[in-house]
Structures are given as C-alpha cells and as structure tokens.
Amino acid sequence: MFRCTRYQKRCLLLLATALLLATSTAFAQNTNAPHRLILNADTPGPTINRHIYGHFAEHLGRDIYGGFWVRGDDGGWQLNEPVIEALRQLNPPNVRWPGGCFADYYHWKDGIGPREERPTIVNALWGGVTEDNSFGTHEFMDLVEALGAEPIVVGNVGSGTVEEMADWWEYMNHPGQSPMADLRRENGRDEPWNVRFWGVGNESWGCGGNMTPEHYSDVYKRFATFLHNYGDTRAFRIATGPDATTNRDLPEWTEGVMRGAGHMIDGLDLHYYTVVGGWGGRTLATEFTEAEWIAAFDQARQVDGHIRRTAAIMDRYDPQNRVWLIVGEWGMWHLPEPGSEPGFLYQQNALRDALVASISFDIFHQHADRVRMANIAQTINVLQAMILTEREGAGFVLTPTYHVFEMYKVHQDADLLPITLDAGSYTHGETTIPALSASASTKDGNVHLSLTNMDPNQPRTVQATLRGDSFSSVSGRILTAEAITSHNTFERPNTVAPTTFNGARLNGEQLTITMPPKSIVVLTLE
C-alpha cells in the first residue's frame, strides 16, 4: 500500500500512523465513535495536476448543439454565453473534442469555411440526427478560449487517413506558410493555435475500429509519426487505453499497446463508467433505492483497482513515469430520461452523482503521480453533466456534480498531502464499503481537506490531528440534501447546492468535524 521509494518521510509517517489507526478500527465500527484522521501538512507529495478536472464535449445529443452552441435572437448559431460563464467558475483546465466515438467518424474539413457552405452529415452514432457542421475547428477553439481551457483534439483513426489527421494538425499548428496554414488564414485565423494534446483515435478496441492491441499499436505509430513539430509545438500524443468499464481486456490491451508503441505514447486513455445494475439493469438517475446508492459507490471505487493494475503495467514499460495515465471518460451512466431521444444519453443528476464525483476525485488524487488528466463524460446534457439546459438552451440548471467540481477546484495544481483515515464502514444488505472518503492538498499556504460521508443514515464524526503546521482558523462548505435522490430541476434549481459548513471545530492541532449523513465537505485551514 505504501511506496517508500520516492517520498521516504511521508511513507514512514504513514506507516506509523497506520499502526495507530489499526488499533482503533474496531472502535470505529460503532458509527457513533469518531473516525481518526491524521494529516501531515509538512510532507507534500506529488502535485494534483489541474487536468484531472477536465471536460468532454462530444457531438452527441445536446452537449454541443443546444448546450455550448445555441441559436441567438437572429437565428444564427453562437456560443452559449451564460453557460460558458457558469463553467468558467470551475476553472476548467481542458475540453476534449469532438468525441468519443464521434471522433473516429468525424472529417474535420467538413467543419471549416463559411458555415452556410459546410456539408451536412448524419450522426449515425448518436440518434441519427443531421449534423450541420456549424460547430467545427474554429468554433471549438473560440469555445476553449472563452472558457480559459486547453483544447484536447481527438483525431480520426477509425475511418480517417494519416494524411487527413496530419493535415488537421498542420492546420491548427503550422506558424508559417504551408498549404494548411494558408487554408486556416483563408478562414480568418492568422496565428496557429498551438494545440498540444492530441488523441490518436478513441476506444480503438471498440467504436474506434474494433482493433486488437497489436494492430492498434502499429496503426497508432503510423498516425503519430506524422504529427510533426511546428514552431514550439510538440504533440502530446494520447493513445487509446483500456476499457475498464467492462473489464473485458484490461491487462491485454494495456500490455499490448505499451509494449508495441509505449515509446511514442505520452498519455494512455483509460475509460471507466459507473453503470449501476450493469448495461441491462440501469435505473433512472433520480429513481433508485439504497441498494443502488451503495452499489454506485462500491462500483465507482473500483476505478482505484483499474488504475493500480494499469499503472503497474505502465511501470514496467515506462519506469521513468513519463507517460500520463488519463481517465479520459468517467462518470455515471444511467437510463436516459423518459421522453428523451435514447441516443442522446440525456440523464438527470442527483446527490448520488455528486458523491460519485467526490470519491472519484479522491482516488485520482491518491494516484496523482501517474494519473495526470481525467475528463468527466460529459459537460452539458449528456451522461454525468455539469449543466442541464432547457430545450432551446436558454435556461439552465447547475447539477450536484457541477457543485463538486466547483468545491474541489481548490485541489487543482495543489500538492497532495498524505492523510491516514480510519474510514469505518457503511453496510446495506450484502454490501459493505468504507463510510468515508477524503483527500487533502496544499497550495499558496492554505490546506484543503475534503471529506465525503457515503452513509445516508448516520452522521459521522472525524477527529483529525493536524501535524506539521499550525492553523488558526477553519472554514468550509457542505453539499448535502434531504434525500439520496435529491436533484435540481428548472423549477427548483437550488435543491442541491453548497452552503456554509458550521460543523468543524479547531482546537490547537485537533480538528473535530461532524459530517451529516450523505454529505460532502470541503474545508480550508489557514
């Protein structure tokens, strides 16, 4: 469990405190007894890369059309300014585009030039709708600029050519005179965009071409070879990683791709969805039982094992830890809302989704030395979204998941602090999981501690010892709600929203935190 090589001091502290806590574990099975937590503020670990808080915008349902991209009063398309302003509050570090499965179906030249002259296509992947290509390369770059985010472009390997992808790369990045840079200038953009994050296909074991890892490795190398250096821009090449959701060929895929192409890979893109009940047994986001509440956390927590197993294979081929492990798609996948087009993957978002987000972030933080990017699927109106818009995209609500991203943004680019937590347990039926999840980080002299109580029935008290620094104040916010199924609607947009947390008491190096049932708390220690 502990890795003593890179952070010796932290490791020894953890071992000592783990021993101490082991003796109190039985004690904490009584849910009224305090959970012990030890936070070591003077032994920071790796930095939590801000790119872990990344986003994803696919040409799918109403994520782009009716989400980011809406019709203005004059009937023309434009960026959805109020929605973008709300997303800016999250400090979004990146946006992944144009897919997802759509990436291997997309021909980028359809989406440049005068909008009225762009061809239409059928989006056969997602609902069979007509795609008018009004949102293309320039519009995406305007979007990321408005968000203050970095672009992640996923190139078409499945149905595209090496030449097509190389042209797109040149179009976006060539600073001087070249056929593609000249075309870009004809379309109104003089300077290159200097896009560095570049996906070489998506889910190439499935919708991206149904390839074997060996075949994909060869194809990957061929495509990646032609992403030439232009000016100062070097491609950060992202390869398809394992399908962790179905677990079907997790080690074989990672092993085959790292062995075959690891030396040309900068990021490996693992996908993991929480699908409660499995594909055939899903329920609605807002209609579920306590059994499905606990099952969600039980399943979401399994991403930890997937990360460990994938990282262990990567360690063998990349002992210098150069290659980022990216969780390029993650989140809850429920049944689509009644009345919505099933291919649009439109689902509501309840308090349960928020807790899945907070515990997932805690896990990503713990693996900050290898996991350096993640993208929730997806940003607006699709799967576990931040924002749901009304049909025309004008009115919108912030989901409980949005609030987790906002509360947790304090961890972006902060240094991970080692904590030891007696998380106790929460049992329902046959399932037992830890009751608590937590993580801590430090940045600009402040320490932030986030805690999640997954137990929907009992408050939990955490007795924390703060070591390695002294603090004079604690403040915080809490996200909770009346019911496990509580969610925000257009009529009641603030049913689940953060409020000031008054349940923390600081006394010297002792911090006592009383967590209500089913809650997320983020504390600032100064």
- Interface positions with ligand AHR (CB under 6 A): 58, 99-101, 202-203, 329, 377-378, 383
The nearest distance, CB 219 to ligand AHR, in angstroms, is 17
Nearer to ligand AHR, 373 or 377 (CB): 377
For 191-226, what is the HEC assignment? CCCCCCEEEECCCCCCCCCCCCHHHHHHHHHHHHHC
Nearer to ligand AHR, 211 or 294 (CB): 211
The nearest distance, CB 121 to ligand AHR, in angstroms, is 16
Judge contact between 329 and 242, C-beta under 8 A.
Answer: no
The nearest distance, CB 147 to ligand AHR, in angstroms, is 19
The nearest distance, CB 78 to ligand AHR, in angstroms, is 25
DSSP per-residue string spanning 255-288: HHHHHHHGGG-SEEEEEEEE-TTTTTS---TT--
Nearer to ligand AHR, 7 or 273 (CB): 273
Question: Position 40: which residue type?
Answer: N
| Identified catalytic residue from 131, 170, 329, 406 | 329
203 carries an active-site annotation: yes
Nearer to ligand AHR, 45 or 99 (CB): 99
The backbone region for 84, taken as left when phi is positive above 0, alpha when psi lies in -120 to 50, beta otherwise, is alpha
- Alpha-carbon distances, residue 421 vs 179, 228, 279 (angstroms): 58, 47, 34
329 carries an active-site annotation: yes
Q: CA-CA distance, 106 to 469, in Å (whole number)?
A: 53
460: DSSP letter: E
Q: CA-CA distance, 319 to 384, in Å (whole number)?
A: 34
Nearer to ligand AHR, 104 or 406 (CB): 104
- Find residue 332's DSSP bridge partners: 274
The nearest distance, CB 376 to ligand AHR, in angstroms, is 10
Question: Position 234: which residue type?
Answer: R
Q: CA-CA distance, 296 to 350, in Å (whole number)?
A: 12
- With CA atoms as reference, report the closest residue to 310 among 274, 362, 364, 359: 364
- Find residue 442's DSSP bridge partners: 415, 447
- With CA atoms as reference, report the closest residue to 374 among 44, 48, 1: 48
The nearest distance, CB 484 to ligand AHR, in angstroms, is 25
Residue owning tokens 């009345």: 339
Nearer to ligand AHR, 378 or 519 (CB): 378
| Identified catalytic residue from 139, 203, 255, 292 | 203
The nearest distance, CB 209 to ligand AHR, in angstroms, is 12
Q: Nearest-CB residue to ligand AHR? A: 100
Q: How crowded is the C-beta side of 467, counted as CA atoms within 13 Å?
A: 15
Q: How many helical (H) and strand (E) elements, i.e. helices and strands, does the chain have?
A: 11, 27
Nearer to ligand AHR, 100 or 111 (CB): 100
Vertex 101 angle, CA 409 and 358, to 5°: 25
Active site residues: 203, 329
